[in-house]
Chain A
Amino acid sequence: MKAFISIIRIRFNLLLQYRIAAIAGGVTQFFFGMIMIMVLYGFYSSSDGEMPMSYQSAITYIWMGQAMLGMLPWNGDMEIQNLIRTGNVSYELLRPMNLYNYWFARAFALRTAPTLLKSIPIFIIALLLPSDYKMHLPPNVSSFIAWILTTFGALMISCTITNIINITTLYSISGDGIQRLLSSIVTIFSGMVVPLPLFPEKLKQILSYLPFSGLVDIPTRFFTGEIAFNQLLGYFCFQCLWAVLLYILGQWILNRKIKDLIVQGG
């Protein structure tokens, strides 16, 4: 546990070395959010049919996706991928820890540290915007609690997927391929680009069973009150189930690979 905290602390330290990058990232996400909202604005004001989700909720949904971008498993841990590419991964195998759990701790740190740092300013700005672009606070305390809990569930799914990306680098040396593929899948299927409730009915049903919906869609719809508090247990269990499955899958792939791992070079 102490090692876990220590890993998170070192990641924070690392992040604070790259303050400018963090600010730049925040600004980019803010602009992305604005663009998406303008598209949604046009979409909502030109359509007469009944919408599956209110405009207000859709805006909040977009901001949530942008603020929590750092938490999405859209890339691997660059540090670990570099360790693998350069062979420094040898040292990781010399630590008296289960490698999966060690990397999980690093994934956890990777997903929480920058998100904590970047999301707060985005939330504050998004709450202060003019009414057409403004993010709204949850309707009641129970929605907020449900959001916190499901965000934790999202974090677990995110860390297990991140770890799988890290581990695949052991097979492919360069993690670029899976990373490009996954970043598109994750951003679209989680609802970050277009809120999932606005997807076609059939697709929506399929997506709701995939782990990606647990990343953005579920926490956000609790936040906006679209999903009622009494369904919290079901949704949270759905997230946990996926997290456990992905955890087992990751452990399995890694343990299989460690046995015949060859670190090349002198």
Chain B
Amino acid sequence: MIIEANELSKRYKMPKRKPGIVGGLKNIFHKEYEEIIALDKICFEVKEGELVGYIGPNGAGKSTTIKILSGILTPDSGECRVLGKVPYKERIDYVKDIGVVFGQRTQLWWDLPVIDSFELLKDIYKIPLGDYLKIKKELITWLDLESFINTPVRQLSLGQKMRCELAASLLHSPKILFLDEPTIGLDAISKLSVREFIKKLNKERGVTVILTTHDMDDIESLCNRVIVIGKGKILLDGSLQSLRNTVSKDRRLILDYDGGNGGISILGATPISKENNRLVIDFNPDIITPADLITTLSTQYKIKDILIENPAIEEIIAKLYGEFNI
């Protein structure tokens, strides 16, 4: 196991402010704190080479977990080991083997060309020159940085900047990469190129990747395993398929027809909508197979086109959050 988290817990103490001037004055003399449980005995393990999606609503504890795993936050109780080390105890020795990207923060020097930041990181991580040149060249090709590598960071677009952040986190060839919302705020094309890169990195280099995101397309296109967290607890840990199955096995059939009519009363199928010669039906494949369903329907409708799809992952997650009341 490359990552082992065992009953990790973290609470934050937040000062509670009463509204208004009176409240403000009261606060001077008597400060009240509110305790927020960010993580509540979290346990999970990650094998080498896995690409794990870590998802949950805002404030669920995703970033807190990443911060603990990367050694910048000490948990209140519990323990974790990454690469055989306890991150927050052996921080300096540990961090040379990991790469971290915080999507909402930056590690590049704002006023200087991107390449200057890379050079500094080379010396900070003590990367041998030969390795550095090789890796730098590779990252530049993979992420297509060539055209703006000499531009000051402040002049880059968000997508360009994120690609540079990724490169900066990988110069020292880390074995694990933590990505905290790497696609936040990016446009469609940038998102695709970031995803492609992460996929390639994981497949070709065997880098273990832990990824937090709100973008379900990230999860769908990248992760074979997802961990869902809410209110500091792990709600689900498994494959994308098992996540689908837990919430609902339903699949969706979209049918365009030219003519035909009739009510639909098929066991295991629920009509969702029917308008403009388009019929949408959710069905449970355990009760009725797609083949049977289509056969039945074809007796009633003159079918023009058929599409079967999985329900959008967003809907599944929303249902899951609903089930756990978060």
What is A's interface to B at a CB cutoff of 8 Å?
2-3, 5-7, 10, 13-14, 17, 86-88, 90-91, 93-98, 102, 259-263, 265-266
Contacts and interface: CB of A to CB of B under 8 A. Distances in A.
B62 A266 contact: yes
B67 A263 contact: yes
Given A3-B124, A17-B111, A17-B112, A94 B70 contact: yes
A96 B93 contact: yes
Contact of B95 (A10, A96, A259, A260): A96
B134 interface: no
A148 to B, nearest CB: 27
Interface stretch (B71-79, B218-226, B228-236, B255-263): B71-79
B126 A266 contact: no
Given A2-B126, A14-B111, 20 more contacts: A2-B123, A5-B123, A6-B122, A10-B109, A10-B117, A10-B119, A10-B120, A13-B112, A17-B112, A91-B102, A93-B71, A93-B72, A94-B95, A94-B98, A95-B95, A96-B93, A261-B73, A265-B63, A266-B62, A266-B104
A5 B102 CA distance: 27
B30 interface: no
A91 B105 contact: yes
Given A14-B112, A91-B107, A266-B180, A96 B96 contact: yes
A95 B71 contact: no
Nearest to B102: A90
B120 A6 contact: yes
Contacts of A96: 92-93, 95-96, 124-126
B154 to A, nearest CB: 10
A6 B126 CA distance: 11
Contact of A97 (B62, B92, B107, B117): B92
Contacts of A6: 119-120, 122-124
Nearest to B92: A96
B62 to A, nearest CB: 7
Interface residues of B, number: 37
Q: Which of B91, B124, B180 has the most CB of A within 10 A?
A: B124
Contact of B73 (A2, A262, A265): A262
23 contacts: A2-B126, A6-B124, A13-B112, A14-B111, A88-B105, A88-B107, A90-B67, A90-B105, A91-B100, A91-B106, A91-B107, A94-B98, A94-B100, A95-B125, A96-B95, A96-B96, A97-B124, A102-B124, A259-B74, A260-B74, A263-B67, A265-B104, A266-B63
A263 B72 contact: yes
B6 to A, nearest CB: 20
Contacts of A10: 109, 112, 116-117, 119-120
Contacts of B180: 266
B72 to A, nearest CB: 4
A247 to B, nearest CB: 18
B44 interface: no
B86 to A, nearest CB: 14
B295 interface: no
A90 B72 contact: yes
Nearest to A98: B92
Contacts of A260: 74
A93 B105 contact: no
Interface string B55-98: 00010001100010011111000000000000000011101101
B12 interface: yes
Contacts of B109: 10, 14
Contacts of A102: 124
A266 B107 contact: no
Q: Which of A2, A17, A88, A91 has the most CB of B within 10 A?
A: A91
Given A87-B105, A96-B92, A97-B124, A266 B58 contact: yes
